[in-house]
Structure 1
Amino acid sequence: MSKYKYLLLTAVAVFWLAATPVGAQTIVYIPMDDRPVNLDYVVDTAKAAGVDIVAPPATLLGSRNEPGDPDGLWGWLLDHALIADRVVVSADSLLYGNLVLSRTHNIAVNVIEDRLNNFSKLKALNPAMSIYVYSTIMRTPKSGEGGEEPSYYEVYGPSIFRISALRDQAEIRGLKRHEESELRGLLDEVPQAILTDWYARREKNFIANQRLINYAKNDTLTYLLMGRDDCSPYSQSHMESRHLAAETTELPMNRYTSFPGADELGMLMVTRAINNATVRTPKVRVLFAPGAGRDTVPSYEDVAVGQTINAHIFAAGGIPLNSKLADLTLAVNTPEDGVTHEADSTFNRDQFRAAPVALAADAAREAASGHRLAVADIAFANGADNAFMSELRKRGLLFKLESYSGWNTASNTIGYAIGQGMLASKMASVDKNRLLAVRLLDDWAYQANVRGAVGTEVLFPLGGNWSYLDKLTPRLTVETEQRLRAFAATNFPEYPLNNFKLAFPWNRMFEVKIELYEFPKS
């Protein structure tokens, strides 16, 4: 952006701010990439709640194989600064191009610094505008496949993860003799050039997050949310989050927070922006399934879920309140023993289990009492709990919910259930139910059931690859759509869901995009 254009826009901003009515509210939104959970579903939710939300052209956003355009996004954002009352933006997109590129880029430090400086320019263009930023602490996965990490991670990922876990433990409690020996062996095993590359990229990410924290401290940012992407109790991500936390002690919770998660952050920040704009502070009561409940530490996360849920509620602009006077009840389906298996495992058959039955009964009582009810289904990772969903179906609760979520990690699920649940009161019933239908088709039908069946019965017999569908995409699309329609007809026949389109947006089986063209009003 030229200096002349910047000065001109600044001058126009002064006039525009003086002429704009106080009640006007427009959110400018930049997601962390173009996946439906980050872009389409967030925008759909805000629009269903009656909010004017503007997102950039898809060509500027990063996808799986195409890099995003950080400088193009900054140009678009600065050009739209004058129409925005609030902006909700992903730092990963604006600094690196998208979430995946934050893990794989080779961007020079000075380029990242220049992009960080744009946050000051953005604030100067429209001083009255509220700026909500969400960023991630780079993940430390236990393995790497599918092209979302540097190529060497497929070979050395488990060893790199273990090195970082041992170093984290060393800082926290020290290492035992056999652990010190293990660490030395791993450091000999992984080539030094690979470790240097991995840690150098993380250092850039860490410094960028420090700068964002400073922007929160000096009031450039209204709110900063830092997600811990796919973390573990001991890992490099956990270590970095501890170090960053030490720099945020003076920031109150209404200015900054950090917790496990990534793909739900856009939904949470848009929800917070809407709640702040309408001066609402929704009160949320939390119910857990019997058993480990709030003490569950889910897969891919590093703290107990009770702590994570409270942090998500605060981040969305609400407060936890253990009272039946709460605006929303969040029913959380946790595993009785505190162990979150994968949704496609043999544990997720539709057999009787006492904990989900008890929670479904509690949910039915809440609904019968007239309480608005949201459900976060985190008993399994990467899909819904079949036994629990069957219980909700038997009780006729599926479309009596304000929101439902049961996808990917526990935090992803929690953020969506809270965000859509808080905003549901602003929606017409048909719009609320349409959002519910997408989640039921995606999280329950596809992720917990159809995905595994199509993989076993169609993809693999044809010699296909889970992470690269390529020429099999048309066949898999038809097969998946047919099975989703059959699932819907069996499990919620009162809402015929025949008119929808399905796509595999990232050329893999992991996620789908579901577009409902028509939805019945009752």
Structure 2
Amino acid sequence: MKRVKRLWAAVLALVLLAGCAPGRTEPLPYPEPAASEPGKTIAYVPLDDRPDNVERVVYLAESLGYALAMPEKVLYRTALDGQPKNFDSLQRGEPWSLFTWVLEQEAAGCDRYILSLDQLHSGGLVASRSMTGYDIELPGGGTVQVHSMLEQLLTALSADENNVVWLLDSVMRLAPTVGYEGGTLEDYNAIRAFGALPRRTLEGDALNLEDIGESYWWGPNGENLRSQTKEAGAYEAALRHVRSRDRKMTLSYVVRDTLGKPGYENFRLLTGIDDSSLEDCIQKNEIAYLRQGLRTDSEGKQLDWILSGVDDLAFKAVTRLYLDETGWTGAQAAVTYLGGTEDRPACEYDFQPLTEIMEEHLAFFDLREADTAELQILVLTQPEDPDQMNAYRKHLIEALRDYRKAQRPAILIDASNGTYGTAIYEALTKDTELGYLTAYSGMLDMAIVTGTALSHGVARYAVLKNGGGTDACDRAWARTLADSILKDFCYKGVVRNELLGYIRNGLGGDPNNFWAPDLDREDLLQRLEEGMKKETSAAIKNLERSRLITSLEPYAEKNWGGIALENYRFPWDRAFEIGMDIRLGEFQ
């Protein structure tokens, strides 16, 4: 009898992995027709032109029935040192043209906005880390004060009470970007070490812009950090960095002060904390100052938030906008940690324990933890005991298969920072049904991974609870999942490492900038395409034999269609991230 039960269990496992697909459907041309409904357009100014801020936001928005209206890429693109510039002169986006573009959308009748403030006042995230002045150049000559431009924009958008405006801001990370405006790795290391030093804690009336600016230079016991940086030969670099922080905090104050006035109740301010440190670092007083200004409405509902993570800000805003528009009242979620290290930061760039980052993001999406729930959230952490990695991996696989059998939607968060190696991806590909997942994210700082996975997962769960979306919404959602899985499992896990070795050892180049020195970018693209063709084969086959949930009430599934990848690209001409188009066959 036991043998028969084991046999049936094996048969069931094979059925779950193979699905019931009638056969692979041929991928359709890309891009497909827009999935949005009439009148559901969001005017979107991205943080920059990386995939997490462009195509992946497009996928997520379309999975919810929205279309994104975006300015021309040249207006928000970032160029590293030595790379072709925008308009032959700019390494950053062009704030004045973006300002006028937003006003054009308002004149055309748009009433949904997601706007990156770093892009609007500085020309992008990287530029915001290095700018020190307040004058913004006008395309035809002359300048405008950035304070004035921001205030004009907010005033114009507040005039229409039907507008819903999400503003995305950031707390500057501890150091500027290597390879931008001459920044070197030595500069980065020196400034990050300076930024990570503990600072004097400000409280009460002392928590103001002037005292925060002064606190940058003083340790908790009165240590003079100016002297220390001078002795280390890093004073000039630190001084420029402090001036950039002063500017950034001043502009955040301008926005916060404006939103505190009557008439801005339909504005939402979402601030992300960029790469941080576990120490009481240079961000400490900035975060405390910004937290004390968070707004709530007359009923106590939160209007503003400050959360860890920056590259996931647009994901969070798109999802929360959808939840608010569809009358979301929250949901219960069962959270399971595997690995045993959830009580500490997941990496050196996080300043909170993993559980605290999770709790804050769950609250943002109105998720309530429960021992049993329909929605499952599974978090793989770094192993407490490295000798037990196989056991953690086995438990992960068993949990996912249990959720599949029980027809429960599942969000998988890999917070292990690569400590399990590629073995974890191989096990997931071999022994689970990847296309059944509601969302997946991994291979970045935990703050970003959390926001990304929960944004995509909660968005999809809400659609399914609302009765399911259109076929076009299902297909857009499938692209969000395929993009995460294929890039993490195949590119970041394998192909990127091969490219890093080839560029450094074979070409003597810099994988962080293919223009310094000038590398054969066609050769690199060819190697990328060949490597991805080889490494994605197994994961694509898994997705193609998967089924996806299309509705929860009543419960329904569809077979994935065929998958083809094309138009590979290195958005910033560096190996850190890639872009690609994902073609899908018909779902059946």
- 1:274-313 matches, within 5 Å, as 274-283=322-331, 284-313=333-362
Given the superposition, is the C-alpha separation of residues 248 and 277 from structure 1 closer, same or farther in structure 2, using an over 3 Å criterion? Answer: closer
SS in 2 for 1:104: coil
Which runs of 5 or more structure 2 residues have no equivalent in the other structure? Answer: 1-37, 81-90, 136-143, 204-217, 545-561
Question: Cα gap change, 1:253/1:211 in structure 2, threshold over 3 Å: closer, same or farther?
Answer: farther
Name 1:20's counterpart in structure 2. Answer: none
Match of 2:380 in 1: 333
| Larger radius of gyration between Structure 1 and Structure 2 | 2
Please tell me whether residue 321 in structure 1 is matched to residue 369 in structure 2.
yes
Larger displacement relative to structure 2 (366-375 or 157-166): 157-166
Q: Mark the CA change 1:458 to 1:90 in structure 2 (over 3 Å): closer, same or farther.
A: closer
Distance verdict in 2 for CA 1:385–1:131, change over 3 Å: farther
| Unaligned 5+ runs, structure 1 | 1-22, 339-346
Report what 1:87 is aligned to: 113
**Is residue 2:437 matched to residue 1:401?**
yes
Give 2:206's aligned residue: none
Q: Tell me how far apart the structure 1 counterparts of residues 174 and 339 of structure 2 sit (CA, whole Å).
A: 31
Separation (CA, whole Å) in 2 of partners of 1:128 and 1:48? 23
AA at the equivalent of 1:285: A
| TM-superposition CA deviations, 1:96-140 (whole Å, max 9, x none) | 111111012243267221122034323344222111111011110
Q: Conserved in 1, the CA contact under 8 Å of 2:59 and 2:477?
A: no
Does the CA-based 8 Å contact 2:199-2:219 persist in structure 1? no
Q: By how many angstroms is 1:430 displaced? A: 4.1
Q: Say which structure is richer in helix.
A: 1
**In structure 1, C-alpha distance between the alignment counterparts of 2:184 and 2:245, rounded to whole Å:** 14
Q: Distance in 1 between matches of 2:403 and 2:305?
A: 30
Pair 1:427–1:229, CA change in 2 (3 A): farther
Asked if residue 30 in structure 1 is aligned to residue 64 in structure 2, the reply is no
Whichever residue aligns with residue 309 of structure 1, its letter is M
Q: Shift in Å at residue 377 of structure 1?
A: 1.2
- Give identity over the alignment, percent: 20
1:120 to 131, 144, 154: 154
Between 426-435 and 405-414, report the one with greater CA deviation: 426-435
1:214 aligned partner: 257
Compute the displacement of 1:373 (Å): 0.9
Aligned 8 A contact 2:117 2:167 in 1 = yes
Report the counterpart of residue 487 of structure 2 in structure 1: 442
Match of 1:378 among 393, 411, 415: 415
Could you say if the C-alpha distance between residues 384 and 85 of structure 1 is closer, same or farther in structure 2, counting changes exceeding 3 Å? farther
Q: Which moved more, 1:257-266 or 1:460-469?
A: 460-469
Give the drift of 1:353: 2.9
Q: Structure 1 residue 246: deviation in Å?
A: 3.2
Q: CA RMSD in A?
A: 3.1
Match of 2:57 in 1: 42
Q: Which residue matches 1:272?
A: 320
Q: Does residue 240 in structure 1 map to residue 255 in structure 2?
A: no
1:343 aligns with: none
1:75-474 to 2 correspondence within 5 Å? 75-81=100-106, 82-108=108-134, 111-141=145-175, 145-147=178-180, 151=182, 154-168=185-199, 180=223, 184-190=227-233, 192-218=235-261, 220=264, 222-234=267-279, 235-248=281-294, 254-283=302-331, 284-315=333-364, 317-326=365-374, 328-337=375-384, 353-380=390-417, 386-424=422-460, 425=464, 426=469, 428=471, 429-457=474-502, 460-470=505-515, 471-474=519-522
One-letter code of the match for 1:68? G
Counting matched residue pairs gives: 484
The yes-or-no answer on 1:502 pairing with 2:568 is: yes
Length-normalised TM-score, structure 2? 0.75
TM-score (norm 1): 0.83
Residues 406-463 of structure 1 show CA distances to partners (whole Å, capped at 9, x for unaligned) of 1422122222211221233336444433332221221111012110012224653122
- C-alpha separation in 1, matches of 2:94 and 2:470: 34
**One-letter code aligned to 1:95:** H
Moved more, 91-100 or 44-53: 44-53
Amino acid at match of 2:513: Y
Question: Once the two structures are superposed, what CA deviation does each residue of 1:240-283 show, in whole Å capped at 9, x if it has no partner?
Answer: 21232233387866211112211100111011111111122442
Partners in 2 of 1:151 and 1:384 — Cα distance?
A: 36
Contact preservation (8 Å) 1:442, 1:514: no
Q: Which one-letter code corresponds to 1:98 in the other structure?
A: G
